[in-house]
C-alpha cells in the first residue's frame, strides 16, 4: 500500500471521528485536519474535484473556527436558592448520565450546605457549579459541570474570575477539588489547580 493511500485513510478516519464530537470546537478542528489530508491526497492523485471540495471545506472550517475564537459571549452567574432548586434538579436529571462520567462519586446527601450557581452563556444555562464553603478558608468544589457543546474552558474561567473577589472578601483563600477521573483531572490542571502531594486525587487552586 502506497503512502498516499494511508493519507487518504487517515483523512477519512479524522472526518468520521469529527462527526462523533458533541463539542463544535473539537468537531471543526478534527474535521479541518481530515479534509486537509484528503485535499493533499486528491492533489497527489491529480483528482482535482477531491482536492477542490476538501480545500473548500477546510476554508469553511477555518472561517468558523475564527468566528468561534473571536466571538464575544455574554456570561452571567445565577445563584440557585435552596427553595428554588427545581430548574437545577431538571438540569441534573437531563444530563445525569454525562455528569456521572465525570463525577461518579458525587453524593448530594453527604454535601454540607451546598451552594449551586448556574453559568449562563448568552442567557443559556451551560454550566452548573456546586460548592461548599468550609473552614480554614477553603471552598470545596463538589461539581463544576459544563454541557458538552460548550467545553472550551471559557465558562470555567469566567466562574473562577467572577467569584474570586467576593470569596476573598469572605476570608476564603483556596479552591479544593477531588477527582479520580483522568479527563476531569486534566481539566483541573488546565484551570490552574495543582495536585496535592499527599493524595493525587486532590487538587488545590489559590483564590
Q: Supply the CATH number for residue 83's domain.
A: 3.40.630.30
C-alpha span between 179 and 182 (Å, rounded): 8
- Asked if residue 52 and residue 106 are part of one domain, the reply reads no
Q: What is the domain count for the chain?
A: 2
In terms of C-beta distances under 8 Å and separation of at least 24 residues, what long-range contacts does 81-88 make, across chains too? 85/116, 87/118, 87/125, 88/116, 88/118, 88/128
In order of 17, 38, 77, 113, the CA distances from 131 in angstroms are 35, 47, 14, 9
- Asked if residue 64 and residue 88 are part of one domain, the reply reads no
167-187 per-position pLDDT tens digit: 888 888 999 999 999 999 999
- Quick one: average pLDDT of 56-83? 86
Last residue of a domain, one of 29, 55, 70: 70
Tell me: pLDDT of 83 over 70.
no
Last residue of a domain, one of 70, 86, 109: 70
Q: Which three cell numbers stand for residue 39?
A: 485535499
Tell me: pLDDT of 128 over 90.
yes
- Asked if residue 90 and residue 66 are part of one domain, the reply reads no
Residues 6+ apart with CB under 8 A from 41: 4, 7, 8, 11, 50
Helix (H) / strand (E) element for 51: namely helix 48-70
- Quick one: average pLDDT of 77-95? 86
- Asked if residue 180 and residue 137 are part of one domain, the reply reads yes
Tell me, what's the pLDDT at 133? Answer: 86
Q: β-pairing, 75-80 with 115-121?
A: antiparallel
Tell me, what's the pLDDT at 111? Answer: 84
- Asked if residue 59 and residue 83 are part of one domain, the reply reads no
Last residue of a domain, one of 50, 70, 90: 70
- Asked if residue 128 and residue 86 are part of one domain, the reply reads yes
93-109 per-position pLDDT tens digit: 999 999 999 999 888 88
Owning domain of residue 165: 75-206
Report pTM.
0.69
Size of the chain, expressed as the number of residues it contains? 207
Tell me, what's the pLDDT at 71? Answer: 76
Amino acid at each position: 500500500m502506497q503512502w498516499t493511500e494511508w493519507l487518504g485513510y487517515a483523512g477519512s478516519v479524522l472526518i468520521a471521528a469529527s462527526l462523533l464530537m458533541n463539542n463544535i470546537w473539537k468537531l471543526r478542528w478534527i474535521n479541518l485536519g481530515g479534509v486537509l489530508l484528503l485535499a493533499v491526497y486528491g492533489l497527489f492523485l491529480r483528482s482535482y474535484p477531491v482536492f477542490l471540495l476538501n480545500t473548500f471545506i477546510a476554508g469553511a472550517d477555518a472561517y468558523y473556527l475564527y468566528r468561534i475564537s473571536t466571538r464575544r459571549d455574554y456570561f452571567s452567574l445565577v445563584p440557585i436558592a435552596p427553595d428554588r432548586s427545581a430548574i437545577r434538579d431538571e438540569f441534573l436529571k437531563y444530563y445525569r448520565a454525562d455528569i456521572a462520567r465525570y463525577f461518579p462519586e458525587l453524593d448530594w446527601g453527604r454535601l454540607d450546605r451546598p451552594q449551586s450557581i448556574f453559568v449562563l452563556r448568552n442567557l443559556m444555562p451551560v454550566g452548573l457549579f456546586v460548592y461548599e464553603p468550609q473552614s480554614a478558608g477553603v471552598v470545596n468544589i463538589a461539581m463544576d459541570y459544563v454541557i458538552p457543546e460548550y467545553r472550551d474552558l471559557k465558562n470555567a474561567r469566567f466562574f473562577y474570575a467572577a467569584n474570586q473577589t467576593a470569596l476573598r472578601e469572605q476570608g476564603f483563600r483556596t479552591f479544593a477539588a477531588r477527582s479520580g477521573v483522568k479527563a476531569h483531572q486534566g481539566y483541573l490542571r488546565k484551570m490552574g489547580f495543582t495536585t496535592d502531594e499527599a493524595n493525587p486525587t486532590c487538587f488545590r487552586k489559590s483564590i
